Structure 1
Amino acid sequence: MHYPENKGLEKILERGGACLENGLPFVIYRKPKQQELFAVFQLNDELKSSRDFTEKGFVFAPFNSEGKVVLIQPDEVWKGEFQSEKSQVTNNIFLDESGKDAHLELVENGIKEIEKGRLQKVVLSRKIEVSNTKSPVKIFKTLLNTYPNAFGYLFYHPKVGTWCGATPETLVRVKNKELSTMSLAATLPYIENENPKWGSKEIEEQQMVSEYIGDRLAHALERLDIDKAESVRAGNLWHLRSEVRGNMLPNLKVKEVIGALHPTPAVCGIPTREAQQFIQANENYKRTFYTGFLGELNLSSQGELSLFVNLRCMQLEDGKASIFVGGGITEASDPESEWIETQNKSKTMLGIL
């Protein structure tokens, strides 16, 4: 990395606030289970993009794989330390029932499409808009405190907008041609002192994702290992996760790996193209960067990247926050349960606000 300059936490956050005021692109982020905080600053407001993932910087990519991958150019890179404090997130969250009928109908349409044999799985989501008075920097600090095991970030570009989030899902990591990713699916609410009891729907859904990732990567790797699924906790939810590892073939380009993995079945569906078409035709809003991906690109060394799926995120603009929640739909899905799952998931970000 361009020998990042060491700075105090407050100085980094202050600089982020100044960039927001002056319309200059930046991102501040912390990787899962780490205390180091990195900040990448671009010194002009030009909208740059990555064409083939050989550039240096921080990328922010949309759900739609045809969309431009935004690149924040690393004119300055700072690093500091973030010590988590006890988080003060409220659990008394008012959950709005508006939008329920539309979501039930969306899920029913998804199940019909699966029954016709066109899809095996489709991930359907909705957008919740709430008013917000907290500054992006304050929201970001709360996110870091509340979700130390997630990839936490605050991203801003005057031509793209302000986004922040705490995502539990790795898209892909590559270092010295060694690749690692994960297969993540299924959700249950976390209950104190209780282990999650997974039903056949969740186990099958996670298995489906693992097999799909294995198929997509088989041509790209010299060897491929997929671990057994394990329960992992992310905030107030449980998920099933399998680690996936392998060695990239010598002349394989990073762009091909990203193309094989994005969008993942955990955020889109199986088969990918048909699921993506169904989502774009039926969800009644544009996802833009929700369920896209983001992360470091060649910052430490060429060919090294660390990318995460943009889940558990929000877009902040003019006194309002947009939160996105979704769930994987299979033939065994029940629309009412799917609605409840999105309500449970919404607490993650609503609690931060």
Structure 2
Amino acid sequence: MHYPENKALEDILERAGACLEKGSPFVVYRKPNKTNIVGVFQSGNVLHYSKDFTEKGFVFAPFSSEDKVVLIQPDKVWQGEFHPEKSQKANTITLDESGKDAHIQLIENGIKEIEKGRLQKVVLSRKIEVSITKSPVKIFKTLLKKYPNAFGYLLHHPKVGTWCGATPETLVKVKDKKLQTMSLAATLPYIQNEDPKWGNKEIEEQQMVSEYIGDKLAHTMERLEIDEAESVRAGNLWHLRSEVRGTMLPNLNVKEVIRALHPTPAVCGIPSEEAQQFIKANENYKRTFYTGFLGELNLCSRGELSLFVNLRCMQLEDGKAFIFVGGGITEASDPESEWMETQNKSKTMLGIL
């Protein structure tokens, strides 16, 4: 593979549009707080997989760790600059109440399971279907404009479908054996000129995630530091986040780190195995790539990766967008508030459409 070729943004987006029409595999993306857009284009429609994260390219991994990790091969890599104009006024979004009873029932079942002592936390989600008229490339451009501090992407493979999103959450970054990740949990709506007021439920939920990540990574690191939690804004929401840094043991392979971290408690629950089983048995739809992860693999240099959790995303198919929203359920959860949290989260993607 050659170094990324510098191209005009229009050329990159035009090529992405042509790939969509032809059904050729590609991904275009922008990292958080960057102006650089990268396009990874694969020739041929073969569905490649990553076996051990030593390959080169862009990975797209499902929620279920039993399913294979898709690899978009970097037969051509282009990069260009994206300078967003100021975002337009937010449009008013009408929220649909359908599916409320089923979601509340799901949350109540989750709380019962926690009360039985089988789970400490479980993340439960639902899927919303919306008709769209905008092209995937237009949706991607809007998303980049609206969420500059998120990882924004548009990905297509004929055997996987078309996905796009703007995720606020890093799964893991590794460079020269130095690791960075984050513990992200809890959600409150953003209100102008007001600081978020976190309750015990949110503080405990975030603490739980930090401890869990610490435990999971302990055996893979020479040293590990977890910062205090701070409030961070993602679009129209607040979250609590702690930065996590470490130095990997010299002979450790990256696959073990990814296996330790995915799926994170922020998208699955604690303990992970039991939470996954509960989700599969109760959610009533298959998440596929929602709450999986995606990102660069050895694209810049050997042993360097930059992976993000696939949140705030949608699947685009035949004039429809499927949006996924969920929330962390603990013993202190209130089903009505949890429903409202998913409604608030749905505005992120609905606002793009």
TM-score range, shorter chain: over 0.9
The equivalent residue for 1:41 is: 41
TM-score between the two structures when normalised by the length of structure 2: 0.99
How many angstroms does 1:89 deviate by?
5.8
Q: Secondary structure at the match of 1:352?
A: coil
CA deviation map 1:290-335 (0-9, x unaligned): 0000000000111100000000000000010000000000000000
Residues 312 and 31 of structure 1: CA distance in aligned 2, closer, same or farther (over 3 Å): same
Q: Between the two proteins, what is the percent identity of the paired residues?
A: 83
Find the aligned partners of 1:30 and 1:109 in 2 and give their Cα distance. 38
Q: Report what 1:181 is aligned to.
A: 181
Counterpart residue identity of residue 328, structure 2? G
**What is residue 291 of structure 2 aligned with on the other side?**
291
* 2:328 corresponding residue in structure 1: 328
The aligned residue for residue 100 of structure 1 is 100
- Aligned residues between the structures: 353
How far apart, in 1, do the equivalents of 2:139 and 2:76 lie?
23
Q: Which amino acid aligns with 2:256?
A: E
**Which digits, 9 at most, give the CA deviation of each residue in 1:138-169, with x for residues without a partner?**
00000000000000000000110000000000
Displacement, 1:84? 1.2
Could you tell me which residue of structure 2 aligns to residue 319 of structure 1? 319
Q: What is the aligned partner in structure 2 of residue 263 from structure 1? A: 263
1:174-323 correspondence runs (5 A): 174-323=174-323
CA distance in 2, matches of 1:192, 1:253: 45
TM superposition score normalised by structure 1:
0.99
Residues 41-60 of structure 1: pairs in structure 2 closer than 5 A: 41-60=41-60
Within 5 Å, give how 1:61-76 maps onto structure 2: 61-76=61-76
Aligned equivalents of 1:155, 1:228: Cα separation in 2: 34
Q: Deviations over 1:219-256 (max 9, x none)?
A: 00000000000000000000000000000000000000
Q: Distance in 1 between matches of 2:72 and 2:139?
A: 21
Confirm whether residue 137 of structure 1 aligns to residue 137 of structure 2.
Answer: yes
The alignment partner of 1:204 has SS state of helix
Correspondence 1:81 to 2:81: yes
Could you tell me how far 1:90 is from its partner in structure 2? 3.3
| CA deviation vs aligned residue, 1:56-88 (integer Å, no higher than 9, x gap) | 000000000010100000000000000011223
Residue 262 of structure 2 aligns to which amino acid in structure 1? H
Distance 1:184 1:90 in 2: 26
Counterpart code for 1:292? G
> Contact (CA 8 Å) 1:89, 1:146: kept in 2 or not?
no
Local SS of the residue matching 2:306? strand
Aligned partner of 1:124 in structure 2 is 124
| SS of the residue 1:34 aligns to | coil
Q: Please state whether the residue corresponding to 1:32 is helix, strand or coil.
A: coil
Secondary structure class of the residue paired with 2:346:
helix
In the aligned structure 2, how far is the partner of 1:327 from the partner of 1:321? Answer: 20
**RMSD over aligned Cα atoms:** 0.7
C-alpha distance in 2 between matches for 1:304 and 1:220: 17
Query: Are the equivalent residues in 2 in contact too, given 1:89–1:351 (CA < 8 A)?
Result: no
